[in-house]
Structure 1
Amino acid sequence: MDIALIVFWLFAGVSILYVVHFGLYLVGANFYDVWQQRRKSTRRGVRLPGADEPECAATATGGRSGPAEVPGLVSVVIAAHNEEAVIVRTLDSLRRSTYPFYEVLVADDASTDRTGQLVSEYRADHPEMDLHLVRMPENVGKGGALNAALRQHARGQFVMTLDADSIVEPDAISNALSYFDDPCVAGVAANVQILDEPTALGILQRFEHMIGYRSKKLYSMLNCEFVVGGVASTYRMSVLRKVDFYDTDTLTEDIGLSAKITNLGNRRFRMIYGADVVAKTEGVLTFRALAKQRYRWKYGSIQNLIKYRGLVLNPSRRYTGTLTYYRMPMALLSEFTLLVSPLALSYAVYWSMATQTAGLVIGAYVTITAYTLLTVWMDENLTRRERARLSLYAPTAYFLFYVMDLIQLTAALRCIANAQGLFKRPEINTWKSPERAGSVEVASGA
């Protein structure tokens, strides 16, 4: 009976924690939306560093030398390894950009398919596009490939990184640059959406991304964001040089980079979420591929949490209290709750059936469904048709998320089984691109 009570209270505790967070996310998102409207009404363009701003990220100096920076130029860097199915689509989306002053660097990490050939042909067909192919003689991993392109070839004052299956909206680059009006903004996380797939797996990934990225609105308002994904993330080149670009000793080089910059002090080097910096990417096509992906993400995330564990409860004035006393501890706690939530939920279902009291399960179902619906209805980037269709899918979200919890639990257990690599990290992590659908086309423009 004591064990039953412990499991019951675990479930209740996890549920209360999630409800509190849902409430915070809703409130934070509303404040963010108001801030966005005010910011857009007073937008002045990109503000360059000045002598009167010595405490902000815009004045970051140091790091290794490289090509001279061109003011206002954006270096768009695409890491690619065997991406012949999607690389042209990504380049097509960039050609539609409303921001004219950018260069594109494709870091071809020893592809054995036609990726390099397709990029070369694209450059010949579109000589007006400032496109360059940077070939790696051997597979050095995604972080290593990005570093080679950035250190040796990138000339931009700003850098946007893309995956080879990404599609960026025409105004994504210009919208990303607008956040650098604030000289303390070091990096901008994009609003990454899953390309529509009419399957349960596709719907699951789309809901998960919508809810996950909405939480970034709260983290931006509290100035405690430290996780910036690799799709359409944008940084100041001066900041990248200061931290010597990407580390290659974790499986998630993108999170590693944003955490490394945050480690400098997030009061001066701020990470922010750009809801209007919209990019779309393919979801994985099978549950087996999803399990591999989530293991890689979780393993890399834990590696970085361990690597930058000094941020947890750090009293230094370089950091905001919301980062060190809230965001970082919650990131660690979420890994623990992930281990217990499927067990607690399963027991709650059993307990509800045994006592003929379905209140707990029904309450959890209603909460998740309501929050999913609110996320759909308040998403500023959905069309009316998309909003209506996703609203019809919302009642399935609770069950789909339970499937995702099981996948995440499996990933966590695999991380525990391979715990040695969490602490003793390899110097280089090579990669293998997942299977791509490549079924969505992008208008190539004039």
Structure 2
Amino acid sequence: MSMDIPLVVFWLFAGVSILYVVHFGLYLVGANFYDIWQQRRKGMSGVRLPAEYQAECAATATWTRRARPEVPGLVSVAIAAHNEETVIVRTLDSLRRSTYRSFEVLVADDASTDLTGRLVRDYQVRHPDMDLRIVRMHKNVGKGAALNEALRRHARGQFVMTMDADSILEPTAIANALTYFDDPHVAGVAANVQILEETTGLGILQRFEHMIGYRSKKLYSLLNCEFVVGGVASTYRMRVLRKVGFYDTDTLTEDIGLSTKITSLGNRRFRMIYGADVVAKTEGVLTFRALAKQRYRWKFGSLQNLIKYRGMVMNPSRRYTGTLTYYRMPMAVLSEFTLLVSPLAWTYAAYWSVVTQTPALVLGAYATITAYTLLTIWMDENLSVSERARLSVYAPTAYFLFYVMDLVQLSAAFRCIARSKGLFKRSEHTTWKSPQRAGSLVVARAA
């Protein structure tokens, strides 16, 4: 009987490990097929918009004060900002470098008490060629509500791209995002979001996590089962946003809530897709305390949305693809449960390997994570050779860094359980606070 518990933990560890290995394999294969699809797609189409928008070219051109746009169609870039004086100018500078010229910028200033508003107004004066407007909230209403105000009352574009005030857009990001809308079923495009700073252990951890996490979106795009689109450089059709009523404000993650709400309409008609060439950079958090706070908010909001849209799980409706309702949604739920047991299983496996002098379990898991991290680095199309070499040096630490992240996620899960009433009985979230920014510390690297 004394061996029952060790055997249960062993098989638990084995089951979790097999699940991860299978998923890593699927992600690798899916990413390769996605890359092939990307090459074919780029070979068949240049940077152009769907035919339904061609007739609106002339009207769009009169909306912007820029020179003749390179391609037709206006994009409304909405930036949510609350006390972002250290980073807002850097974000606006990145937009001015865009190769796509027909866009307007709406800064939703959510009652900032610092110099955010003054810096934006000064930017308007210094760069009159840029169609830049500030939408000021008289009180802190929350990120989702601030974006809603800017988009509902002031946006004029056929497409909307949302950004965080600390994010930096690559010059070709807008133009690349619009090419995906050649497919009339595409409703939203998730960007390839990268972490700016990775010289610290915490920075390296976030850089690896983003690289691996976003690579999995390649598989989800091919299978048409993506429903999670973050807020950094995400792009939507305006008519779809109007159809769903823009952002909901009853969860902690309004960005995931928006993409899931659109998907709930039926992902055969309203498809979410990942754009690996829609590159944006953003700051990681600076402290483990901030990381714990961030991951709790993300997890709580994700669980709120999974519960809110639980009707999509195992739903036989023809509006949805089977890969969404029978694979992606159930796995999203299952991953939350495996998270609760995986640190315990891995810790016991390490102990069991030492006691029995059979290190194969831990070494196998370590080798798998390290190999997958290296493959992710060297197959990333947006990294230079020098960046690949530098990140490869850090790759052997990935297993231990991910273990730390699992502990952070586990802590967030327990906090969610302790506040489980809020998962089911949602309320309006009317305030928010921006995290500490590195600001000028990353300007040189970004340039």
The TM-score, its normalising length taken from structure 1, stands at 0.94
Q: Is the 8 A contact 2:196 2:445 kept in 1?
A: no
Q: Is the 8 A contact 1:75 1:160 kept in 2?
A: yes
| Residue of structure 1 equivalent to 2:287 | 286
Aligned to 2:182: 181
* 2:20 maps to which of 18, 37, 49: 18
1:65 corresponds to: none
CA contact (8 A) 1:250 1:425 kept: yes
Match of 1:33 in 2: 35
**Structure 1 partner of 2:443:** 441
Would the alpha carbon gap of residues 97 and 78 (structure 1) be closer, same or farther in structure 2, given more than 3 Å must change? same
Match of 1:308 in 2: 309
Partner of 1:144: 145
How far residue 175 of structure 1 moved from its aligned partner, in angstroms, is: 0.2
Q: In the superposition, relative to structure 1, how do residues 311 and 92 fare at CA in structure 2: closer, same or farther (>3 Å)?
A: same
Aligned counterpart, 1:49: 52
Are the equivalent residues in 2 in contact too, given 1:185–1:270 (CA < 8 A)?
A: yes
The one of the two structures with greater contact order (alpha-carbon pairs below 8 A, sep at least 6) is 1
Query: Shift in Å at residue 300 of structure 1?
Result: 0.2
Matches of 2:141 and 2:20, distance apart in 1? 40
CA contact (8 A) 1:89 1:442 kept: no
2:133 partner amino acid: H
Question: Pairwise mapping of residues 310-349 of structure 1 onto structure 2 (< 5 A)?
Answer: 310-349=311-350
Give deviations 1:282-315, integer Å, cap 9, x for gaps. Answer: 0000000000000000000000000000000000
Structure 2 CA distance for partners of 1:299 and 1:444, relative to 1, 3 Å: closer
Alpha-carbon distance in 2 for matches of 1:325, 1:78:
35
Alignment match, 1:90: 91
Question: 1:373 matched to which residue of 2?
Answer: 374
Greater helix fraction, Structure 1 or Structure 2: 2
Counterpart position of 1:387: 388
Superimposed CA distance per residue, residues 108-155 of structure 1 (whole angstroms, 9 cap, x where no aligned partner): 001111000100000111000000000001111000000000000000
Aligned CA distance change for structure 1 residues 442 and 156 (closer, same or farther; 3 Å): farther
Where in structure 1 are there 5+ consecutive unaligned residues? 51-67
- Per the TM alignment, residue 207 of structure 1 is displaced from its structure 2 partner at its CA by 0.2
DSSP-derived class of the 1:77 partner: strand
User: Do structure 1's residue 117 and structure 2's residue 118 form an aligned pair?
Assistant: yes
Q: Please give the per-residue CA displacement for 1:147-187, whole angstroms capped at 9, x wherever unaligned.
A: 00000000000000000000000000000000001011000
Alpha-carbon offset, residue 197 of structure 1 = 2.8
| Alignment coverage as a number of residue pairs | 428
Q: Quick check: 1:359 aligned with 2:360?
A: yes
Maintained 8 Å contact 1:95/1:444: no
What does the per-residue CA deviation read over 1:318-346, in whole Å, with 9 as the maximum and x for residues that have no partner?
00000000000000000000000000001
- After the TM superposition, which of the residue ranges 422-431 and 304-313 deviates more from structure 2? 422-431
Is contact 1:92–1:444 with CA below 8 Å preserved after alignment?
A: no
Of all paired residues, the percent bearing the same amino acid is 80
List runs of 5+ in structure 2 lacking aligned partners. 54-61, 65-71
Question: Would you say the 8 A contact 1:226–1:262 is kept in 2?
Answer: yes
User: Where do residues 80-229 of structure 1 align in structure 2 (5 Å cutoff)?
Assistant: 80-229=81-230
2:196–2:446: 8 Å Cα contact kept in structure 1? no
TM-score by length of 2: 0.94
How far apart, in 2, do the equivalents of 1:414 and 1:8 lie? 27
Following TM superposition, by how much is the alpha carbon of 1:196 offset from its aligned partner in structure 2, in angstroms? 2.4
- Mapped partners of 1:355, 1:389: distance in 2: 37
Extract structure 1 runs of 4+ deviating beyond 6 A: 68-71, 442-445
Deviations 1:364-385 (A, max 9, x none): 0000000000000000000111
Code of the residue aligned with 1:81 in structure 2: it is H
1:430 maps onto 2:416 in alignment: no
Q: Find the aligned partners of 2:136 and 2:78 in 1 and give their Cα distance.
A: 13
